[in-house]
Chain A
Amino acid sequence: MRKAGAFWLFVGPFLIGLLIFNYIPIGWSAYLSFFDAQGTVTPDTFVGFRNYADMLTGPFAQSLLTFSVFALFIVPLTFALALGLAVAVNRIRFARAFFRSVFFLPTACSYVVAAMVWKLSLFSGVRFGLANTVLDWFGQDPVAWLSNPDPPWYWVVLVTARLWLQVGFYMILFIAGLQRIPDSLYEAAYVDGAKPGWQVFRHITFPQLRPTSIAVLLLSLIAAYQAFDEFYNLLGTARGYPDFGRPPLVYLYYLALGQTQDYGHGSAGALLLALLIALVTLLQGRLLGLGRQEA
């Protein structure tokens, strides 16, 4: 009995909060997703799976597609750049801490600040934007980076902003992974006549980084699913949000918290997205053996 008392003393406060602020909203949301709940959270018109069907056939499916395009760019680019920087930084003798800090520093910035720099300074659509200035040096016409969906230059802005913000974080993961590779492997490779550079990277370094690589791919994928901040701030204007470039959370935001206050459809969409992310996370758990006791 004393054991149980001590256990609840430690775990109880957190657990109560977890139930109230995590489990109740999810449960309530599941309930709302089966009702016609516009502007009310105590609905009485049961609609079955209609909200889900609407979400899977309507613009929400379109926004999942939007996300897929985004992920297609951001995940491989993040992976390659983070790995490249980690390998480059890891073995240098001079100014190693300096370079690591520089690449990691953007992690301290918010997406709002990054969006501000990208929107008003780097990729401003008018002539004083830096990107357009550089284009001008090469005799190119200025580009309306964010206001014109055709051609979709706004992806360049969105992807580079996120890259700048998150690459340093994944670089640190790769550096930690690199430092776990035993030197004896490199010695063995040397004895076997491996050439420095690509051959060693291809046959020793990269295979040894497999757990880190899987983690980086899945963490950046899950993060991309939840993209909201930079889309909202880069594409949103005083006249509202344009009808292109809407990732799932932006779509849900305007659906549930905009004029329509459609909690039924919003909840159905949120649960579909949560399900998708849970599947990815489970996959990650399977691939990484998460939950196994670590030595």
Chain B
Amino acid sequence: MDNRPVGLRPGVVGTALRYAALTVAALLFLLPFYLIVRNGLSTEADITSPEWSLFPSSLHWENIGELFTDPSVPMAHALWNSLVIAVLQTGGQLLLGSLCGYGLARIPYRHANKIFYLVVATLMVPAAVTFVPSFVLVSSLGWVSSLRGLVIPGLFAGFTAFMFRQYFLSFPRELEEAARIDGLGHWGTYWRIVVPNSGGFFAAVAVIQFIGSWNSFLWPLVIGQDEDAWTVQVAMSTFLTAQNVNIHELFVAAAVGILPLVLVFVILQRFLVRGVAETGIKG
């Protein structure tokens, strides 16, 4: 790891200070996660007690069940919506974006450059900024509060196609040429050789997309106007800005809402780190 000359490495005091600073920072970074669990398993009285305590006086695991049985909080349905949307968007983006990226990177065509510029130009206008016109279009199509409206407009992110193009440009040509000699066309080469040999990159993009989709807020807020179409984020936000908040229930919802992501995150972290390191810089 530290391959620098011995004289340039920090001394004992420097190392100790470094660990001390990192430990303090780590505790601060973990504190919000702890507060979610603490508040989620507390009673309302414990949370709002004027005497702040690090540990709740007793743990209330039944809060988790209450979240799913409280008829005024459609949390189970919202979780389901978020899952369906995140899976469809991740799958759809991987499929459409990777096909487009491969075509742009590897199939010679007269107008390929113009089309590439058409894709790249959209990178300059973030989707969040165009939510007003996108809403106008989607509502004209009658897709407000529908799964179509929530999923489909987000499938065509220029950034995904761009990332895949950059990746496929550095894919080893020899593999594809071998497939060509074996009589496979572009389509066959893509599915039998390129995709199976790009698992790491697909996984990296998938993790980033899944987290982005699960956590996205503005578009689901704009489109998911009926309670039936709420995602987890919109449901939580609605109760957060409501007059009477049931605080412990809200925090149980937050815990349930981030648990799948934290799991995905911890298990697939190496793909995620790689994806961010490789693609973030190009954004």
- Tell me the A residues contacting B by CB distance below 8 Å: 3-4, 6-7, 9-11, 13-15, 17-18, 20-26, 28-29, 32, 41, 85, 88-89, 91-93, 96, 99-122, 126-128, 130, 133, 164, 168-169, 172-173, 175-176, 183, 186-187, 189-190, 194, 196-197, 200, 211-212, 215, 219, 222, 225-226, 228-229, 232-233, 236-238, 249, 252-253, 256-257, 263, 266-267, 269-270, 273-274, 277-278, 281-282, 290-291, 293-294
Q: Which residue of A lies closest to B50 (CB)?
A: A127
Q: A29-B132, A103-B29 are in contact. Are A7 and B124 (CB under 8 A)?
A: no
> Quick one: which of A21, A197, A219 contacts B14, CB cutoff 8 A?
A197
Of A89, A102, A211, A277, which is in contact with the most chain B CB atoms at under 10 Å from its CB?
A102
- A contact residues around B178 at 8 Å (CB): none
A contact face: mostly helix, strand, loop, or mixed: helix
Write the B123-150 contact mask toward A (1 if CB under 8 angstroms, else 0).
1111011111111110110000000000
B226 within 8 Å of A (CB atoms): no
CB distance from B95 to the nearest CB of A (A): 9
**Is B245's CB under 8 angstroms from A120's CB?**
yes
Q: Which residue of B lies closest to A168 (CB)?
A: B29
Q: Give the number of chain B interface residues (Cβ < 8 Å).
A: 111
**Is B282's CB under 8 angstroms from A3's CB?**
no
CB distance from A105 to the nearest CB of B (A): 7
B179 within 8 Å of A (CB atoms): no
- Tell me the B residues contacting A by CB distance below 8 Å: 1-5, 7-11, 14-15, 18-19, 21-22, 25-26, 29-30, 32-33, 35-36, 39, 47-50, 52, 96-97, 99-100, 102-104, 107-110, 112, 115, 118-120, 122-126, 128-137, 139-140, 152-153, 155-156, 158, 161, 166, 169, 185-187, 190, 211, 214-215, 217-218, 221-222, 233, 236-237, 240-243, 245, 247, 250-251, 254, 257-258, 261-262, 264-266, 269, 272-273, 276-278, 280-283
> Quick one: which of B9, B118, B211, B218 contacts A108, CB cutoff 8 A?
B211
**Is A186's CB under 8 angstroms from B8's CB?**
yes
How far is B217's CA from A115's CA once the two chains are assembled, in angstroms? 12
How far is B158's CA from A200's CA once the two chains are assembled, in angstroms? 40
Q: A11-B103, A101-B269 are in contact. Are A270 and B96 (CB under 8 A)?
A: no
**Is A104's CB under 8 angstroms from B137's CB?**
no
CB distance from B23 to the nearest CB of A (A): 9
Q: A24-B137, A128-B52 are in contact. Are A11 and B29 (CB under 8 A)?
A: no
How far is B238's CA from A115's CA once the two chains are assembled, in angstroms? 12
Of A13, A114, A236, which is in contact with the most chain B CB atoms at under 10 Å from its CB?
A13
- B contact residues around A116 at 8 Å (CB): 236, 240, 250-251, 254
In the A-B complex, the 6 residue pairs with the closest CB atoms: A10-B103, A29-B133, A25-B133, A110-B215, A14-B100, A176-B277
Q: Which residue of A lies closest to B239 (CB)?
A: A116
